[in-house]
Amino acid sequence: MLRLYKRESQRCERFGQYAAVVTFSRHVQAECIRHGFPAERTRRLPCHVGADAAAAAIRDGGSQPFRILFVGRMERLKGGHVLLDALTEAQTCLARPLETVFAGDGTLRGRWKRQSLRLFPPGAPIRVR
Q: What is the DSSP string of 50-88?
A: -HHHHHHHHHH-TTSPEEEEEES--SGGGTHHHHHHHHH
Q: What is the pLDDT of residues 13-37, one digit of tens each?
A: 777 788 888 888 889 899 889 988 8
- Among residues 69, 58, 54, the alpha carbon closest in space to that of 95 is found at 58
Q: What is the pLDDT of residues 74-124, one digit of tens each?
A: 999 999 999 999 999 988 888 889 999 999 999 999 999 999 999 999 999
Give the predicted TM-score (pTM) of the model.
Answer: 0.61
Q: What local confidence, expressed as pLDDT, does residue 48 receive? A: 59
How far is residue 48's CA from residue 12's CA, in Å, rounded to a whole number? 27
